[in-house]
Amino acid sequence: MRHGFSRQRFARPTDSRQALPPQVFSRWPSRASASAHDGPIGIDDLPAWMLAAPPGRGRARATAIGTAALLILPSMGLAGLAGWAAAAWGGAPALVLGALALVAGGAALAVAARQAQRYRIGETRLEAIFERSGISMWREDWTAAGEAVMALRRAGTVDIESHFASRPEALRALRRQVIVTDVNGFTVEETGASGKDAYLGPLDRLLPDTDQTFVQWLVAFGRGDRFFRSEAHVVRADGSEIDMLFTAMLPRDLAGFSEIVVTALDVTAFKQAQKRFARADTELARASRITTVGALSASIAHEVNSPLAAILANAQAATRWLRRPVPDIGEAAAALDDVVTEATRARHVIARTRSYLGNAPRASAPVDLLQAARDANLLVEGELRLHRAAVHIAAEGAIPWIDADAIGLQQVFVNLLLNAAQAMAEGDGPRDVTVTIRATGEAVTVDVTDTGPGIAPERRAHIFEPFHSTRAGGMGMGLAICRNLIDAHGGDIWADAAPGGGAAFHFTLPVAGPAHG
């Protein structure tokens, strides 16, 4: 492994407990703190909802019944006492006690009736809010997901994302157990569905396999977060996909998972507008580059043409001096010396141009490779969806930060993700791309594996060469760029076969100092 210049080591704080990010990964982060706690999460730090006593679902109704019982029981006691008084003392005492019993019983029934009325009013108001809101609202049963996360946490699994990154089929099976139990009328109206039935049932049929937010729900459950907010693309009743921003307050106990109310905002038009603006920016940048390249080309042509013309003139002069009846060796030698001088000048022009356009040193800064992988994933999410590729990203344990060019490393991730998605484009079955990041000694290793056809052993030695492509129409520059960028950081990159079939790309980046503990 090649190690470059000395680097300062940037690492996450060492702790016996595993440190997790302050909130789940989302392109729509919130200023409000989603986490109900501060600092890293350890194996023994179970969320509060896992420790809460099981409550009754009809808590308000139970309270009303309990209050009535507290009043009815004394009235029943008074009635019994009146019967005893009638038998022991006769009429007057019995009548008094009986009257008291009737009064107490009436008061109890009145209180119970008022409590029940308040409960019904509360339920009616909640239902009115649900149905009359001018925003899409969903009721979903996440009980199976809550129970699965609870079992994992109690078994000592802290990093939920990494757990399911290596078990994509288990993640898909769990997604099928989440049930949409109701949607409000606005959801039906906004999406043009024929009725609520179009959305009721397993969540799996609404979330395509390319969705990357479901596992983040599970991460939020495992952390004990207060709320969850993220963007997902869902399948409408007509089969088209839309982008929606989901927000939900998360349960405080296991029973609450049976009904999570989720608000959803269609952001498809907003994202399309963003893409139009991005395309406009791209066109402006392209026009600027064309202008710059044109000016640069003119400058290069001017600078190179001058020494080339001098070289040609001096070479012709030397030829004439040598072809004379009596060759003038001195003049010919002087002309050839001028040829050497002008050729050296032309070489310097080319060298300056290469230095300007080449891999000039860029500013380095502390880089979180996990965040770089996620950012790259977001950059090419649209293309990954077109290829129906599902991306799973996981970090094994604490990962040291490295001192590097963040944009360059992001480009490496982009190229490898797109290569994997394109390699699986013609295959059947799940199209999983798994990115695993781990600390290995004095380096950080990244593995990018896919479930495609793989790379023949005889071709692996050439895939990093410029203009070598395995795809029709491919330029063959992506992997060559990756190699140059990794080499510039003192790392190494190679490819082999993935354990379950497909291709596996690996690259390492050195970390200065002792191995991260």
| Residue where a domain stops, chosen among 357, 385, 405 | 357
Assign 271 to helix, strand or coil: helix
β strands within 158-259, DSSP E? 179-183, 201-202, 227-235, 241-249
CATH number at residue 305: 1.10.287
Query: How many beta carbons lie within 10 A of that of residue 33, not counting itself?
Result: 13
Kindly state whether residues 65 and 161 are assigned to the same domain.
Answer: no
Kindly state whether residues 404 and 474 are assigned to the same domain.
Answer: yes
Kindly state whether residues 370 and 499 are assigned to the same domain.
Answer: yes
Kindly state whether residues 503 and 378 are assigned to the same domain.
Answer: yes
Whether residue 502 lies inside any domain: the answer is yes
- pLDDT for the residue numbered 379: 79
Whether residue 40 lies inside any domain: the answer is no
Kindly state whether residues 149 and 257 are assigned to the same domain.
Answer: yes
Partners of 439 in the beta sheet?
Answer: 444
Contact 8, 403 (CB under 8 A): yes
Whether residue 50 lies inside any domain: the answer is no
The tens place of each residue's pLDDT in the chain, 517 residues long, gives 333 333 333 334 334 344 445 455 666 666 666 665 555 565 567 888 998 876 554 454 454 445 544 544 455 554 554 455 555 555 555 555 455 555 555 555 566 666 666 656 656 777 777 887 788 899 999 999 999 999 999 998 888 988 998 899 999 999 999 999 999 988 888 888 888 888 899 988 888 888 888 999 999 999 899 889 888 888 777 778 888 888 999 999 999 999 999 998 888 888 788 778 777 777 776 776 676 666 667 667 766 777 888 888 889 999 998 999 988 888 889 889 888 888 887 887 777 666 555 555 456 788 899 989 988 888 788 888 888 899 999 888 888 988 888 888 888 998 899 989 988 888 778 899 999 999 988 899 999 999 988 888 878 777 887 665 655 545 566 788 888 888 888 899 999 988 878 899 999 998 864 443 3
| Residue where a domain stops, chosen among 304, 323, 357 | 357
- pLDDT for the residue numbered 25: 60
Kindly state whether residues 142 and 115 are assigned to the same domain.
Answer: no
Whether residue 237 lies inside any domain: the answer is yes
Whole-number Cα distances in Å, 304 to 294, 297, 298, 348: 15, 10, 10, 10
**How many domains are there within the chain?**
4
Contact 470, 452 (CB under 8 A): no
Contact 183, 199 (CB under 8 A): yes
Nearest residue to 419 via CA among 448, 388, 385: 448
Kindly state whether residues 429 and 402 are assigned to the same domain.
Answer: yes
Whether residue 246 lies inside any domain: the answer is yes
Whole-number Cα distances in Å, 463 to 87, 370, 425: 105, 26, 19
Kindly state whether residues 180 and 311 are assigned to the same domain.
Answer: no
Q: Domain range holding 421?
A: 365-510
- pLDDT for the residue numbered 204: 86
| Residue where a domain stops, chosen among 209, 236, 266 | 266
Kindly state whether residues 188 and 262 are assigned to the same domain.
Answer: yes
Kindly state whether residues 259 and 174 are assigned to the same domain.
Answer: yes
Kindly state whether residues 472 and 430 are assigned to the same domain.
Answer: yes
Which residues, including other chains, have CB under 8 Å from residue 190's CB and lie 6 or more apart? 136, 266
Helix (H) or strand (E) holding 186: helix 185-191
Kindly state whether residues 116 and 150 are assigned to the same domain.
Answer: no
- Separation of alpha carbons 216 and 24, rounded Å: 6
Nearest residue to 32 via CA among 261, 247, 257, 268: 247
